[in-house]
């Protein structure tokens, strides 16, 4: 759907004002593919379930592509990307393009079809999926290529060329987008069995021939531009890696001659060395920079940009949902015009819009004022075009003044600023917050009160969320059932969960989180300063999307959020009941965060709100409180130079939440799997009494990490079984895991728990699994 204030259709303009069109240079790095109402998700899942055919899936996909291209053309975008659509993931698409299918999928050559493609993505009956990992510091996950010296590359997916032709048939000449060869290799891992010393970058000369073929076909099809995404350039790179860029693009030079080649970089500033390399690449005529996250890149550009090359200036934020400050962007752009020349400046997004929500038009529940502060992908197209038009001397005054009014209303709104919160936050900055005594003293005081056995058992919080339970929450939200009926249903559920845990013999119980849809949303809905969308979905992986809350104002907690349910649950048992909270860093990292104050300030505000909750739980007689920081590592900046600062305020925020509880109150924290090795010091510095960490997918790599924890003395609960799989682990298997851990960890500090929450599992899986877990703990206790 095209909002009413869009510009006149482009083709018409082309005829009348040829010159103006040439100068209105606008570009979009990439666009969400899932659809404004997650159409692709539903089409994919229906296909996977065997409920619809491949043709039906292809039809939905083609419809989405067409509507996106048309939307961009109608918005007046000049450089419209193609091949940014994907059935699953753009890195997997590249793997398919290069024919780099791991042998276990039994690919027999030829063009890669859905069967092989989705087997790699999701596994099949006999072979598990390829590994998935986070795309830089986003919440998007890509399928990790598995490469080694024996991989034979071949041109096995013509998707890029097909998409280019598909758009061309509609009269839209696009810029085909490929993941650049160096970034592709840098994002890969060594296939099983390959020598650790093997350099993935040494494969560059093997993959370039395929890239050359793709380029040749694109040229033959009429392409005049090509975009290589090389986000790896923003990382800390050694000279060996930097040299790979020079080598690769020199190799490609003759193939791309006659084409305009755009190298896109995004997600951070460019280090000076990388800037020097990318601006002097052979055959490259244009470079795109993220100017939202990269304020230092601007200085580099001002100090020198190669004459004759295009600068694609990413001034419209692809990672957030805020309306652009158009006046500020325009002045940045004017400054750049002076450096690179009027005809060489192109207005762009900071990165692909894949990482923002799709279209504000579908937000029926946000009020008008708040909506005026926002721009989703569809609105960002209009912003990019408005800026390009303004540069060309065709400023849409009405559009700009509406934007300026929205910026001003956001700045002065009492909904945004809460003096008391600002004051309280200012007071925590700079000072330290720690519990009064050390962890060993506290654990001793806690043990006196809790009287737990050795190797205590617990779970991470959620219990299976049955269809019935989801229905109850949905109907309550839609006011179809009364608050009494809702409370009764949730109470019943908690009763069941408590009873089950007592029967199983678990030592520290949970209430099961039946009242929560999502661990961030639940808190956001009760905190001030948060807003929620109905369709603000962002792809996380494959068909999975998340709908991050929007933090628009100072955060405070009007009233207790979990005390009612936690105390109710505690009243049902004599065993300790864990209070369950989501930590400030995780709430921050899984939300769209305001851009009008530093992230750490918002984080401190959330921390103070959670602190209120912790203290209310303690007052209400809850002696064990878990504060989940599932996403602590997710916020880690890409560049080493910025990591210490982040870790410092993130860990500080966590400590703020519980610094004032009594020694006898036991604070747990939980973290989902990520690469902890480099942040273990920070985890310990959180000063929690018990740390549970997802562990079973990591091949025991984490044990050395936990070893660090031993010196510190806190309780450690490395997950003893994988909750992501329906498989039921045997008692022996869990006991073996526990014994392995006892080889590294003191028996006095080891806890026994699953990897993560159980909400996605079925009771038929959870009951026997937990029963085996308790039996394994008992077995291990007897052997102590
Ligand atoms: N307490 C949450 C749960 O059990 C933690 C989830 C998570 O770590 N992602 O569901
Ligand atoms: Zn987890």
In Å, how far are 193, 301, 675, 729, 750 from 721, measured between CA atoms? 25, 51, 18, 7, 15
Mean pLDDT calculated for residue range 519-525:
96
Tokens 């280019």 locate to 164
Angle CA(386)–CA(391)–CA(397) in degrees, nearest 5? 50
Sign, Cα dihedral of 719, 135, 290, 315: negative
- Provide the pLDDT for residue 172: 97
If you compute the radius of gyration of the chain from its CA atoms, what whole number of angstroms results? Answer: 27
Closest ligand 1 atom number to CA of residue 519: 2
CA nearest to 242, candidates 196, 190, 280: 280
CA–CA gap between residue 480 and residue 421 (Å, rounded): 36
Look up the ipTM and state it.
0.99
Provide the annotated binding site: 41, 139, 460-462, 513, 544-545, 590, 628, 670, 672, 685, 694, 756
* Residue of the CA atom closest to atom 5 of ligand 1: 757
670 touches ligand 1 (CB under 6 Å): yes
Report helix, strand or coil for 688: coil
634 touches ligand 1 (CB under 6 Å): no
Dihedral angle, C-alpha 186, 188, 191, 193, nearest 10 °:
40
Ligand 2 centroid from CA 761, angstroms? 14
Extract the runs of DSSP E, i.e. beta strands, from 236-281: 260-264
CA–CA gap between residue 344 and residue 774 (Å, rounded): 67
Ligand 2 centroid from CA 507, angstroms? 20
Ligand 2 centroid from CA 106, angstroms? 34
- Provide the pLDDT for residue 12: 41
Closest ligand 1 atom number to CA of residue 630: 8
In Å, how far are 90, 373, 436, 616 from 94, measured between CA atoms? 6, 37, 54, 52
462 touches ligand 1 (CB under 6 Å): yes
672 touches ligand 1 (CB under 6 Å): yes
**β-bridge mates for residue 193, sequence order:** none
580 touches ligand 1 (CB under 6 Å): yes
Ligand 2 centroid from CA 543, angstroms? 20
Tokens representing 340 are: 């690179």
pLDDT at 338 over 70: yes
Sign, Cα dihedral of 413, 317, 241, 243: negative
Dihedral angle, C-alpha 427, 428, 434, 435, nearest 10 °:
60
Ligand 1 centroid from CA 523, angstroms? 13
- Provide the pLDDT for residue 703: 67
Q: What proportion of the chain, given as a percentage, has pLDDT over 70?
A: 95
CA–CA gap between residue 665 and residue 689 (Å, rounded): 9
Residues 6+ positions from 349 with CB-CB distance below 8 Å: 27, 28, 29, 314, 316, 317, 318, 380, 384
CA–CA gap between residue 595 and residue 319 (Å, rounded): 11
Using most ligand atoms within 8 A of CB, pick from 458, 461, 512, 514 the residue to mutate for ligand 1: 461
- Provide the pLDDT for residue 696: 67
589 touches ligand 1 (CB under 6 Å): no
Ligand 1 centroid from CA 211, angstroms? 42
Angle CA(439)–CA(443)–CA(449) in degrees, nearest 5? 150
pLDDT at 7 over 70: no
Q: What proportion of the chain, given as a percentage, has pLDDT over 90?
A: 90
pLDDT at 541 over 90: yes
Tokens representing 74 are: 């109608």
Ligand 2 centroid from CA 719, angstroms? 9
CA–CA gap between residue 65 and residue 356 (Å, rounded): 17
Nearest ligand, CA of residue 766? 1
CA–CA gap between residue 777 and residue 81 (Å, rounded): 55
Which stretches of 659-762 are DSSP H helices? Answer: 680-685, 703-712, 731-742
Nearest ligand, CA of residue 546? 1
For 225-265, write each residue's pLDDT tens digit: 999 999 999 999 999 999 999 999 999 999 999 999 999 99
Of the chain, the end-to-end C-alpha distance in Å amounts to 67
757 touches ligand 1 (CB under 6 Å): yes
Closest ligand 1 atom number to CA of residue 459: 4
Tokens 């900071």 locate to 350
CA–CA gap between residue 694 and residue 753 (Å, rounded): 9
Confidence of residue 209 (pLDDT cuts 50, 70, 90): very high
For 74-110, write each residue's pLDDT tens digit: 999 999 999 999 999 999 999 999 999 999 999 999 9
* Residue of the CA atom closest to atom 1 of ligand 1: 461
* Enzyme catalytic residues: 724
pTM score, two decimals?
A: 0.94
Using most ligand atoms within 8 A of CB, pick from 458, 462, 627 the residue to mutate for ligand 1: 462
Provide the annotated binding site for Zn(2+): 670, 672, 685, 694, 756
Confidence of residue 697 (pLDDT cuts 50, 70, 90): low
**How many C-beta atoms surround the C-beta of residue 598 within 10 A?**
12
pLDDT at 21 over 70: no
Tokens representing 91 are: 């890195």
Distance of CA 96 to the CA centre of its chain: 24
CA–CA gap between residue 490 and residue 509 (Å, rounded): 17
Task: Lowest mean pLDDT of 2-6, 380-384, 600-604, 776-780, name the range.
Answer: 2-6
**β-bridge mates for residue 592, sequence order:** 550
For 565-589, write each residue's pLDDT tens digit: 999 999 999 999 999 999 999 999 9
Q: Are 681 and 643 in contact (CB under 8 A)?
A: no
Report helix, strand or coil for 519: coil
Provide the annotated binding site for L-homocysteine: 460-462, 628
In Å, how far are 307, 518, 692 from 628, measured between CA atoms? 51, 13, 9
* Residue of the CA atom closest to atom 4 of ligand 1: 757
- Provide the pLDDT for residue 699: 54
- Provide the pLDDT for residue 711: 76
DSSP 320-358: --BPP-HHHHHHHHHHHHHHH-GGGEEEEESS-GGGS-S
Closest ligand 1 atom number to CA of residue 626: 1
DSSP structural state of residue 322: B
Tokens 């200085």 locate to 299
* Residue of the CA atom closest to atom 9 of ligand 1: 630
Residues 6+ positions from 157 with CB-CB distance below 8 Å: 93, 96, 97, 99, 111, 112
For 293-325, write each residue's pLDDT tens digit: 977 999 999 999 999 999 999 999 999 999 999
Closest ligand 1 atom number to CA of residue 759: 10
Using most ligand atoms within 8 A of CB, pick from 463, 519, 583, 587 the residue to mutate for ligand 1: 519
Instruction: Give the per-residue SS3 of 154-204.
Output: CCCCCHHHHHHHHHHHCCCCCEEEEECHHHHHHCCEECCCCCCCCCHHHHH
* Residue of the CA atom closest to atom 8 of ligand 1: 630
- Provide the pLDDT for residue 672: 87
Nearest ligand, CA of residue 459? 1
For 134-185, write each residue's pLDDT tens digit: 999 999 999 999 999 999 999 999 999 999 999 999 999 999 999 999 999 9
756 touches ligand 1 (CB under 6 Å): yes
Nearest ligand, CA of residue 461? 1
Tokens 């159409």 locate to 39
Closest ligand 1 atom number to CA of residue 461: 4
Mean pLDDT calculated for residue range 656-679:
91
């Amino acid at each position: 759907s095209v909002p009413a204030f869009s510009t006149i259709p482009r083709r018409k303009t082309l005829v009348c004002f040829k010159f103006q069109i040439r100068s209105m240079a606008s570009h979009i790095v990439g666009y969400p593919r899932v659809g404004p109402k997650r159409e692709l998700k539903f089409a994919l899942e229906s296909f996977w379930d065997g409920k619809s055919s491949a043709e039906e899936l292809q039809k939905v996909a083609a419809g989405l592509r067409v509507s996106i291209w048309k939307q961009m053309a109608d918005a007046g975008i000049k450089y419209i990307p193609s091949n940014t659509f994907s059935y699953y993931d753009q890195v997997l698409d590249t793997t398919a393009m290069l024919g780099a299918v791991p042998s276990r999928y039994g690919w027999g050559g030829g063009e890669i079809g859905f069967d092989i493609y989705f087997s790699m993505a999701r596994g099949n009956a006999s072979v598990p999926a390829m590994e998935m990992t986070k795309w830089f510091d986003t919440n998007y996950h890509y399928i990790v290529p598995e490469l080694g010296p024996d991989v034979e590359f071949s041109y096995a997916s013509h998707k890029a060329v097909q998409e280019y032709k598909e758009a061309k048939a509609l009269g839209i000449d696009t810029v085909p987008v490929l993941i650049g060869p160096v970034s592709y290799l840098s994002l890969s891992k060594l296939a099983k069995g390959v020598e650790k010393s093997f350099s993935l970058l040494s494969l560059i000369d093997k993959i370039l021939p395929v890239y050359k073929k793709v380029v040749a076909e694109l040229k033959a099809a009429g392409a005049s531009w090509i975009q290589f995404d090389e986000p790896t350039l923003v990382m800390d790179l050694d000279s060996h890696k930097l040299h790979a860029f020079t080598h690769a693009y020199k190799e490609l030079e003759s193939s791309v001659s006659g084409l305009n080649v755009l190298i896109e970089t995004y997600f951070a500033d460019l280090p000076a060395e990388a800037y020097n390399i990318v601006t002097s690449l052979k055959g490259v005529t244009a470079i795109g920079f993220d100017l939202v996250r990269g304020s230092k890149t601007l200085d580099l550009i001002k100090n020198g940009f190669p004459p004759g090359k295009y600068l694609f200036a990413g001034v419209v934020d692809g990672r957030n949902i805020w309306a652009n400050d158009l006046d500020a962007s325009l002045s940045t752009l004017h400054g750049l015009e002076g450096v690179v020349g009027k005809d060489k400046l192109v207005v762009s997004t900071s990165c692909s819009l894949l990482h923002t929500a799709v279209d504000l038009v579908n937000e029926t529940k946000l009020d008008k004022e708040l909506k005026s502060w926002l721009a989703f992908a569809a609105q960002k197209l209009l912003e990019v075009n408005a800026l390009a038009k303004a540069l060309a001397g065709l400023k849409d005054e009405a559009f700009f003044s509406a934007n300026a009014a929205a910026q001003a209303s956001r700045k002065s709104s009492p909904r945004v600023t809460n003096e008391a919160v600002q004051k309280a936050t200012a007071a925590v900055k700079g000072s330290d917050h720690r519990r009064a005594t050390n962890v060993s003293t506290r654990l001793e005081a806690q043990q006196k009160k809790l009287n737990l056995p050795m190797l205590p058992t617990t779970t991470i919080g959620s219990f299976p969320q049955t269809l019935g339970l989801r229905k109850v929450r949905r109907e309550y939200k839609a006011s179809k059932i009364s608050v009494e009926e809702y409370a009764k249903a949730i109470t019943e559920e908690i009763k069941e969960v408590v009873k089950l845990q007592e029967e199983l013999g678990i030592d520290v119980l949970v209430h099961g989180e039946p009242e929560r849809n999502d661990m961030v949303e639940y808190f956001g809905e009760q905190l001030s300063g948060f807003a929620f969308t109905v369709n603000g979905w962002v792809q996380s992986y494959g068909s999975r999307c998340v709908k991050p809350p929007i933090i628009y104002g100072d955060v405070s907690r009007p009233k207790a959020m979990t005390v009612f349910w936690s105390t109710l649950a505690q009243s049902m048992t004599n065993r300790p009941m864990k209070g369950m909270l989501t930590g400030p860093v995780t709430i921050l990292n899984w939300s769209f965060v305001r851009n009008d104050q530093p992230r750490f300030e918002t984080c401190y505000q959330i921390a103070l709100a959670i602190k209120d909750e912790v203290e209310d739980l303690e007052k209400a007689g809850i002696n064990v409180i878990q504060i989940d920081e599932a996403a602590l590592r997710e916020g880690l900046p890409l560049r080493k130079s910025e990591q210490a600062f982040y870790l410092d305020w993130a860990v500080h925020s966590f400590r703020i939440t519980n610094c004032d509880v009594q020694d006898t109150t036991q604070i747990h924290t939980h973290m989902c799997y990520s690469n902890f090795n480099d942040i273990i010091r920070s985890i310990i510095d959180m000063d929690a009494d018990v740390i549970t960490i997802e562990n079973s997918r990591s091949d025991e790599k984490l044990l050395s990490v936990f070893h660090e924890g031993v010196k510190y003395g806190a309780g450690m609960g490395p997950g003893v079984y994988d909750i992501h799989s329906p498989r039921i682990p045997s008692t022996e298997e869990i006991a073996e895991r526990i014994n392995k851990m006892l080889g590294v960890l003191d028996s006095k500090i080891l806890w026994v728990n699953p990897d993560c929450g159980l909400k996605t599992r079925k009771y038929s899986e959870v009951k026997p699994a937990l029963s085996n877990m308790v039996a394994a703990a008992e077995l291990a206790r007897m052997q102590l």
